[in-house]
Amino acid sequence: MSGVTASADRPRAGAGGSAGIGDVLALTGRHLRHLRRTPEKLIAVALTPVAMVVILGYLFASVITIKDNGGVAYHDYVMAGVFAQIGLTCVGITALGVASDLGKGLIDRFRSLPMARSSVLVSHTAADLVPAAISMVAVAGIGLLVGWRTDAGVLSVAGGFALLLAFAYAMLWLGALLGMVLRNMEAINGISALTLVILSFMSNSFMPLSGLPGWLRTVVEWNPVSSVSEACRVLWGNAPAAGGGSLPMRHPVLVSVITVGALIAVLIPVALRTFRTAAAR
């Protein structure tokens, strides 16, 4: 063990690329076993979105109406925004997990092993995607109970959920980056809560944008949460009217796919580069 070069970011000698995959699978299994022993992590991801479904989709549905709704009920409109909120919730969960591993010296122990260093973050984000997926199932069940229905084919509905999972995965990498940069638990809680509130409510997640001033409406329309939420409404047949305004609202599916893909393409290499520095501190 002492003869292993800790700084080398490579798989075990002679094992080829399969070693890196094996490292990811082994560490992902470790995280999932830990999740089974700490179900509060799953509750933390699902609690806020489930509460929003009950409050907005059930309690407030009778007093909130959508202008020019095209026959779409408010509980149908709001569900896409609630699902997108699950991805935002993932930011804080992963940030806290990565910061905790760094603080406890777990990363240093991993560095002493003949394993691809990138597998640490890849496994973290892969495992944290499982609570996000389970939360989406729970939110969908609550949504069906309060009256949410889709009006589209199976493939279109599945495409909406695939987009939501991709968005959540991008947010997991943002959380990993945040955890490495901040490390302080109180700071992470504050920043992740602020991110959740600002990106959720500065979007069309819960209310249409028709009443906003021109400059603010443009800012909100270009919020990735707005395009992801609107794309899901289109894919699920829950969109209140034909898209209008700026490009993200006219072509929300195309814009959200490009945006989420760009976020993943940028955040992963930046997070991995930051990890090499953070793990060496």
pTM of this structure: 0.86
Band of the pLDDT at 21, cuts 50, 70, 90? confident
Separation between Cα atoms, residue 224 and residue 12, nearest integer Å: 39
Q: Quick one: how many helices (H) and strands (E) in the chain? A: 11, 0
Distance CA 98, CA 90 (A): 12
Please tell me the distance from the alpha carbon of residue 27 to that of residue 124, in angstroms, as a whole number. Answer: 8
pLDDT in tens, 154-179: 999 999 999 999 999 999 999 999 99
| C-alpha distances out from residue 118 to 8, 121, 192, 229, Å | 11, 6, 24, 31
Tokens of 20: 């890196």
- For Cα atoms 63, 140, 241, give the angle at the middle one, nearest 5 degrees: 55
Q: Which two tokens stand for residue 187?
A: 């700071």
> Hey, how many other C-beta atoms are within 10 angstroms of the C-beta on 248?
25
pLDDT at 14: 38
Predicted pLDDT of residue 12: 45
Predicted pLDDT of residue 279 = 60
The total number of residues written for the chain in this structure: 281
Q: What is the pLDDT of residues 28-52, one digit of tens each?
A: 888 788 777 777 777 777 788 888 8
| pLDDT over 70 (residue 68) | no
pLDDT digits (tens, 9 = 90+) for 5-17: 344 344 443 344 4
Which residues neighbour 276 within 8 Å (Cβ) at sequence distance 6 or greater? 9, 117
Question: Has residue 114 got a pLDDT over 80?
Answer: no
The SS3 assignment for 244 reads: coil
Tell me the two tokens of residue 180: 């490495």
